[in-house]
Structure formats: structure tokens, C-alpha cells
């Protein structure tokens, strides 16, 4: 029997991040816990309801990348399922460690202490490139990475038998603006576009994005088309533009180019336009990974050419 996959969308306040669950005959694995405690509590209820009729155990929780909206409120989930291990690829854990001390101070100042754990759990390093759930040896789950998404050093999780891909923030659904604030160089943009090419060549039948608004459904073709358009326009308007555009010009351009994406505009477009617009205020709090210093070989070393 193939592995089953499900997803749960966080609140708009929690940036509509996606937590996904794969369920086998005896065990289940979760990916990307939410940002905020209330969303994590809702996720605990969702997991219990999803697994209640099938009697599987939550075996592990994985993180796709270092951004806090994909792991900060793992604590309530791990407390509800104490037997579950908490994992990330070593390069993801390194990214978490690079910014952890600053992030645990910064985000409670934005959302309030009641919404952010005082000490978010860090994952343990997962040293393998795949894992197998008990009872399902013919359905391995492969960790592909590091690849570029809205940050450096993503893991995407590929289920070849099921042709399902858990994307983290390498893919945003067409309902949502894309976090491009950390695409500081042409090499980073090219690396992200290469990730999208990789995903297309895998030819998934089901794709679970890192963010989607409530009421929308993932769509492989439409969401990949959204990503290709967004990154292409970003390149034209910012990366390869002959001169810097004004802050308001960038904000309005991306807002009007993607009218269906009408949530969290201040977060996504406010940061985009200030980071790259003439005279904008750069979010220095988010400069931890030295991403702009990475060259093509480090970002795309997996792709021989």
C-alpha cells in the first residue's frame, strides 16, 4: 500500500505555512511544524484526528529549512507525541544554529511571548539520505538537498513510489507571494530556478508547497508556473535590472502582477520592496547565512554540467 500524504495550513498570522504528514501502515512522519503556538496546538489536534482511525504512531518530525515559520513551535507537537524524534539534515541544523540566538529574541517582540515558545526545540541531525517506515520497505522517502529555495540549504522530500514531493519553501502556492528577500545575487536566483527545474524533471503527481492560503488546493502545474513567473519577474525587475526601482514601484509591481495573492502583503512585499528598492530599509535582522557570498559551484554542485 502506498504512503498517504496530508497537509495542514497555519493561520494567516502564522504566514499560512504548511505542515505535512505522511502516513504508512504502522508509522507516520510530520514535516515543518508551525511558527506560532496556537497553530501548533491546532496541528496536534489535526494529527490526532488523522491518525485516530488508523492507529499509526508519529515516529519523527522533520524540518525542511532553517526559517522559524517551519519549526519554531515544534514544542507542543513533541510534547503531545513524546516518542517522536525531531530531525533535520545537518546543513539545515547549521542554518538554524547560525541565527537561533537572535531569532528567539526577535520574534517574541513581534508576535508576543504567548505565541512563541521561550526556547524552541532544535532538531537533531539526520545523517542519512533516506528513511523507511516500519511495514513499508518498498516506499522509501528520499532527502534531496541541499537545494535553493527562499533560503539556502533546503531539503525536499521525495516519495518516488507515490510520486509525491514535500517542497518546503522551494515552492509557494499560487495563492501566496514568494519570499524573495534573501535572493541577494544572480547565483542564488539561478540556483532557485534550477531547483524548480529539478522538481519538474521529477514529474511529481502531488506537490505540497511551503505556503498556501486557506481554501486553496495545491496544483502541481499551476504552482510551478507561479514560481517560474515570480522568479522570472524578480530577475527582470531586480536581479538583472539596469537600475534600482523605487520602493513603492516594486511593491505595486508585484502586487499587481499577482492579484490573487492578497494576504500578508506588508510582510512579503514590504520586505521585498525595502530590501531591493532605492532608499529602502533593509531588514538587517535577517542577515545571518551570508548567502550572497555563495557561488554557483556551492549552490548547484549537485547538477553536473
pTM for this structure? Answer: 0.96
Look at residue 223 in the predicted model and tell me its pLDDT: 98
91 vs 1, more confident:
91
Average pLDDT over residues 164-176: 98
Look at residue 290 in the predicted model and tell me its pLDDT: 80
pLDDT tens profile 195-217: 999 999 999 999 999 999 999 99
User: What's the CATH code, domain 4-283?
Assistant: 3.60.15.10
Average pLDDT over residues 153-165: 98
225 vs 285, more confident:
225
Look at residue 292 in the predicted model and tell me its pLDDT: 79
Average pLDDT over residues 31-50: 98
pLDDT of 286 strictly over 70: no
For CA atoms 129, 44, 209, 207, the dihedral sign is positive
Look at residue 282 in the predicted model and tell me its pLDDT: 83
Task: Return the closest-CA partner of residue 302 out of 91, 22, 31.
Answer: 91
Average pLDDT over residues 254-278: 97
Average pLDDT over residues 42-68: 95
Task: Write the secondary structure of the chain as one string of H (helix), E (strand) and C (coil).
Answer: CCCEEEEEECCCCCCCEEEEEEECCCEEEEECCCCCHHHHHHHHHHHHHHHHCCCCEEEEEEECCCCHHHCCCHHHHHHHCCCCEEEECHHHHHHHHHHHHHHHHHHHHHHCHHHCCCCCCCCEECCCCEECCCCCCCCCEEEEEEECCCCCCEEEEEECCCCEEECHHHCECCCCCCCCCCCCCHHHHHHHHHHHHHHHHHCCCEEECCECCCCCCCCHHHHHHHHHHHHHHHHHHHHCCCCCCEHHHHHHHHHHHCCCCCCCHHHHHHHHHHHHCECCCCCHHHCCCCHHHCCHHHHHCCCCC
What is the distance between the alpha carbons of residues 133 and 106, in angstroms, rounded to a whole number? Answer: 37
Q: Name the average pLDDT for the chain.
A: 96
Look at residue 215 in the predicted model and tell me its pLDDT: 96
Look at residue 53 in the predicted model and tell me its pLDDT: 81
pLDDT tens profile 23-37: 999 999 999 999 999
pLDDT of 194 strictly over 70: yes
Amino acid at each position: 500500500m502506498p504512503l498517504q500524504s496530508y497537509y495542514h495550513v497555519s493561520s494567516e498570522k502564522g504566514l499560512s505555512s504548511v505542515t505535512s504528514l505522511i502516513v504508512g501502515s504502522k508509522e507516520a512522519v510530520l514535516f515543518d511544524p508551525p511558527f506560532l503556538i496556537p497553530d501548533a496546538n491546532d496541528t496536534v489536534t489535526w494529527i490526532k484526528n488523522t491518525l485516530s482511525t488508523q492507529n499509526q504512531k508519529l515516529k519523527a518530525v522533520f524540518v525542511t529549512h532553517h526559517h522559524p515559520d517551519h519549526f519554531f513551535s515544534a514544542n507542543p507537537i513533541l510534547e503531545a507525541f513524546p516518542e517522536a524524534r525531531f530531525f533535520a539534515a545537518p546543513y539545515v541544523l547549521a542554518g538554524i544554529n547560525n541565527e537561533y540566538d537572535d531569532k528567539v529574541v526577535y520574534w517574541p517582540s513581534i508576535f508576543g511571548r504567548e505565541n512563541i515558545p521561550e526556547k524552541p526545540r532544535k532538531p537533531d541531525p539526520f545523517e542519512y539520505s533516506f528513511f523507511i517506515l516500519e511495514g513499508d520497505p518498498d516506499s522509501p522517502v528520499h532527502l534531496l538537498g541541499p537545494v535553493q529555495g527562499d533560503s539556502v540549504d533546503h531539503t525536499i522530500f521525495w516519495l518516488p513510489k507515490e510520486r509525491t514531493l514535500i517542497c518546503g519553501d522551494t515552492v509557494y502556492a499560487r495563492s501566496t507571494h514568494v519570499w524573495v528577500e534573501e535572493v541577494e545575487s544572480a547565483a542564488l536566483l539561478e540556483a532557485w530556478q534550477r531547483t524548480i527545474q529539478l522538481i519538474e524533471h521529477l514529474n511529481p503527481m502531488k506537490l505540497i508547497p511551503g505556503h498556501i492560503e486557506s481554501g486553496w488546493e495545491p496544483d502541481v502545474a499551476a504552482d510551478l508556473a507561479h514560481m517560474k513567473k515570480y522568479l522570472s519577474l524578480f530577475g527582470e525587475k531586480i536581479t538583472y535590472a539596469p537600475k534600482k526601482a523605487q520602493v513603492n514601484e516594486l511593491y505595486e509591481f508585484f502586487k499587481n502582477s499577482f492579484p490573487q495573492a492578497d494576504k500578508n502583503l506588508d510582510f512579503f512585499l514590504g520586505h521585498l520592496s525595502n530590501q531591493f528598492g532605492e532608499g529602502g530599509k533593509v531588514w538587517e535582522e535577517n542577515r545571518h547565512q551570508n548567502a550572497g557570498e555563495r557561488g554557483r559551484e556551492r549552490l548547484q554542485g549537485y547538477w553536473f554540467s
